[in-house]
């Protein structure tokens, strides 16, 4: 199973190296393999209406990803992220639905963009008697505009309480399996959305907006990182909405040592092992940002790439692949037995 997130700004003038490597690895693995695109599939603000001036570029960015799995007969799933919901702004739901309809039409399938219709989930994909995937729409929890809820809108649950009850039921029923839960927002991250900034971001904060703006702001520049770490936007772990979801999921997941949680959102590669639980951040599909080393972070790297999970009879292995200019097969930069 391949995990790639935040792939929504690929090269559209020539083959994108990260997507080309993913396609190559997927073909090697065969149709028994699956791939999850973990949200932020179109930067900067999702798929606009077809008459919008930004539609051609947005469509090309999405198609670059769709073509990777166009002929793959195995599992392929796209999850929505905050940028797919128009960065959480007004009209975000409609923007996300345009993308869902486009992806479903492309593959002639209603099982490729999950959870469907902007619902919170949880959506179960039972692979076999040893493996189950559970897909969450984490953006639903932090989105400020319209978001669907209830069976009348095609959702599995009528309220937040029912969501957690269903999630706990799914986990309990699959407790003898290996479980992978997937969403866009990570539960642990030692990068920007977790309030971790580089010294460069403190001293030259304007370079986040423009790489050439090396204007030193040593005191004022630290105010923004401090705000992001302790108050935060809705997309940061410190924000009350995000924090509430994060704490609840961590509390539920801690009962299961057979569970992996995988997300994107931060633009780097992280494998975190904390309290006997496994957390993956695979958000380096098309962008790269600072990530810190930390005691629970077994692997971190600010580089484009993706994760691969390999499930065997009695073992689960994790691998990290990154593109390389001189090597078509890319680089295997990390490998570890998880179970």
Token pair listed for 214:
């090396």
What pTM did the predictor assign? 0.91
* pLDDT score recorded for residue 233: 79
C-alpha dihedral sign at 175, 37, 318, 265 = negative
Q: What percent of the chain has pLDDT over 70?
A: 89
- In this prediction, residues 97-126 reach a mean pLDDT of 98
Residue 203: pLDDT over 60? no
Token pair listed for 36:
């999850």
Q: What is the 3-class SS of the chain, one letter each residue?
A: CEEECCCCCCCCCCCCHHHHHHHHHHHHHCCCCCEEECCCCCCCCCCCCCCCCCHHHHHHHHHHHHHHHCCCCCCEEECCCHHHHHHHCCCHHHHHHHHHHHHHHHHCCCCCECCHHHCCCCEEEEEECCEEEEECCCHHHHCCCCCCCCHHHCCCCCCHHHHHHHHHHHHHHCCCCEEEEECCCCCCCCEHHHCCCCHHHHHCHHHHCCCCCCCCCCCHHHHHHHHHHHCCCCCCCCCHHHHHHHHHHHHHHCCCCCEEEEECCCCCEEEEEECCEEEEEECCCCCCCCECCCCCEEEEECCCCEEEEEECCCCEEEEEEEEECCEEEEEEEEEEECC
Tens digits of residue pLDDT in 42-74: 999 999 999 999 999 999 999 999 999 999 999
Tens digits of residue pLDDT in 311-334: 999 999 999 999 999 999 999 999
pLDDT band, residue 195 (cuts 50/70/90)? confident
- In this prediction, residues 91-99 reach a mean pLDDT of 98
From the list 303, 321, 334, 288, the residue with the least C-alpha distance to 21 is 321
How far is the C-alpha of 87 from the C-alpha of 30, rounded, in Å? Answer: 35
How far is the C-alpha of 199 from the C-alpha of 71, rounded, in Å? Answer: 44
Tens digits of residue pLDDT in 118-167: 999 999 999 999 999 999 999 999 999 999 999 999 999 999 999 999 99
* pLDDT score recorded for residue 100: 99
Tens digits of residue pLDDT in 257-306: 999 999 999 999 999 999 999 999 999 999 999 999 998 999 999 999 99
What is the chain's mean pLDDT, rounded?
93
Residue 217: pLDDT over 90? no
Q: State the residue for tokens 């801690």.
A: 254
* pLDDT score recorded for residue 130: 97
Residue 249: pLDDT over 90? yes
Residue 104: pLDDT over 90? yes
Query: Which are the contacts of 105, defined by CB distance < 8 A and separation ≥ 6?
Result: none
pLDDT band, residue 196 (cuts 50/70/90)? low
pLDDT band, residue 202 (cuts 50/70/90)? very low
Cis bond before residue 115 (omega within 30° of 0): yes
- In this prediction, residues 88-116 reach a mean pLDDT of 98
* pLDDT score recorded for residue 193: 78
Q: In what order do the strands lie in the sheet with 277-282?
A: 123-128, 131-135, 178-182, 259-263, 277-282, 269-274, 297-301
- In this prediction, residues 215-225 reach a mean pLDDT of 57
Query: Which are the contacts of 312, defined by CB distance < 8 A and separation ≥ 6?
Result: none
Domains assigned to the chain: 2-185+234-337 (3.60.21.10)
Residue 234: pLDDT over 90? no
């Amino acid at each position: 199973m391949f995990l790639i997130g935040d792939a929504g700004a690929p090269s559209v003038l020539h083959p994108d190296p990260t997507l080309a490597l993913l396609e190559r690895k997927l073909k090697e693995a065969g149709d028994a393999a699956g791939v999850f695109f973990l949200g932020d599939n179109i930067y900067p603000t999702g798929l606009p209406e077809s008459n919008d001036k930004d539609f051609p570029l947005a469509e090309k960015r999405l198609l670059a990803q769709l073509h990777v799995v166009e002929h793959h007969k195995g599992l392929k799933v796209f999850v929505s992220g905050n940028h797919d919901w128009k960065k959480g702004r007004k009209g975000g739901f409609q923007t996300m639905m345009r993308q869902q309809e486009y992806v479903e039409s492309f593959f002639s399938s209603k099982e490729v963009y999950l959870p469907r219709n902007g619902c919170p989930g949880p959506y179960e994909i039972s692979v076999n008697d040893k493996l189950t995937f559970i897909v969450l729409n984490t953006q639903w929890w932090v989105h400020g505009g319209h978001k669907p809820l209830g069976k009348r809108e095609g959702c599995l649950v009528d309220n937040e309480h029912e969501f957690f009850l269903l999630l706990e039921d799914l986990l309990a029923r699959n407790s003898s399996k290996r479980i992978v839960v997937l969403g866009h927002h990570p539960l642990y991250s030692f990068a920007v959305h977790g309030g971790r900034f580089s010294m460069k971001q403190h001293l030259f904060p304007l370079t986040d907006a423009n790489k050439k703006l090396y204007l030193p702001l040593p005191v004022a520049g630290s105010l923004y990182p401090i705000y992001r770490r302790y108050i935060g936007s809705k997309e940061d772990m410190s924000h009350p909405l995000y924090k509430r979801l994060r704490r609840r999921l961590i509390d539920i997941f801690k009962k299961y040592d057979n569970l992996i949680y995988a997300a994107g959102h931060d633009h780097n590669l992280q494998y975190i092992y904390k309290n006997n639980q496994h957390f993956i951040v695979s958000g380096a599909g098309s962008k790269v940002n600072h990530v810190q080393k930390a005691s629970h972070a077994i692997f971190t790297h600010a580089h484009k790439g993706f994760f691969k999970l390999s499930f065997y009879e009695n073992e689960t292995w994790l691998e990290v692949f990154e593109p390389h200019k001189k090597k078509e097969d890319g680089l295997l930069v990390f490998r570890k037995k998880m179970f």
